[in-house]
Amino acid sequence: MLEIESLRAGYGRLPVLFDIDLSVDQGEVLAIVGPNGAGKSTLLKSIIGVVTPTAGRVVFDGARVTHEPPHLRVERGMALAPEGRRIFASLSVRENLLSGAARTPPEVVDQQLEQIYAMFPILQERGTQEAGSLSGGEQQMLAIGRALISAPKMLLIDEPSMGLAPLIVAELYRVLHELAGQGIGIVVVDERSAEAISAADRVCVIEKGRIVSLTASTSADA
């Protein structure tokens, strides 16, 4: 579903990623781990199009998207739940969810809302509540729900467990497994590498902008 070949990327004259080769299949959970500053988040931004690669290529669902803007990649079926959640605090929970659906047909939005509420019932219960009043865990559920509203084929998640209690983290990863079971490809970057590794089918370790290890997770079938 996703193929990354010889990818290089950075910010201005600052190179961050070097010769990244990576693939993600339909229904696969790939965990990207490594020290702070290794380039993990930059890789996600390069996949979704926020950062434009300086070399290499990105192919998604058979189409070369290396230089496409983010909104076109979203239309093709990518979605990103960014680090820090980045919800609209003054909007309601429902309004936040719908903010991710600008280019999604109404009938698909209705179907996705039903699925999101089934996975995260608290979001339906608090649909009219201001998003800024939610707990950290609820805000992360909202960020994931907003990414799912467009019915993506691939979900990119940056630091989903940051600042959250272990029970909430376990629930989030349970949902990610459920989504993968529906055929959605999942790429997750997480500061809690143990949780990410235990949930993943494969684990990619990045150090100083390079992949140093790409292996099957020993916990994938646990």
**Which pLDDT band holds residue 98 (cuts at 50, 70, 90)?**
very high
Average pLDDT for 33-51: 94
Average pLDDT for 103-115: 90
Q: Which two tokens stand for residue 124?
A: 């339906």
Q: Looking at residue 26, what is its pLDDT?
A: 96
Residue 222, pLDDT > 80, answer no
Helix (H, G, I), strand (E, B) or coil at 210: strand
**In the chain, % of residues over pLDDT 70:** 98
**How far apart are the C-alpha atoms of 89 and 138, rounded to whole Å?**
12
Instruction: Classify residue 33 by burial, with Cβ atoms within 10 Å: 0-12, 13-18, 19+.
Output: buried
**How far apart are the C-alpha atoms of 160 and 174, rounded to whole Å?**
13
Residue 102, pLDDT > 90, answer no
pLDDT digits (tens, 9 = 90+) for 154-206: 999 999 988 888 899 999 999 999 999 999 999 999 877 788 888 899 999 99
Phi, psi of 150 (to 5 degrees): -90, 10
Which element (helix H / strand E) includes 56?
strand 55-60
Kindly report whether the global pTM for this prediction surpasses the value 0.85: yes
The more confident residue out of 189 and 100 is 189
Q: Looking at residue 219, what is its pLDDT?
A: 58
Q: How far, rounded to the nearest angstrom, does the alpha carbon of residue 72 sit from its chain's CA centroid?
A: 16
**How far apart are the C-alpha atoms of 15 and 203, rounded to whole Å?**
23
Are the C-beta atoms of 57 and 78 separated by less than 8 Å?
A: no
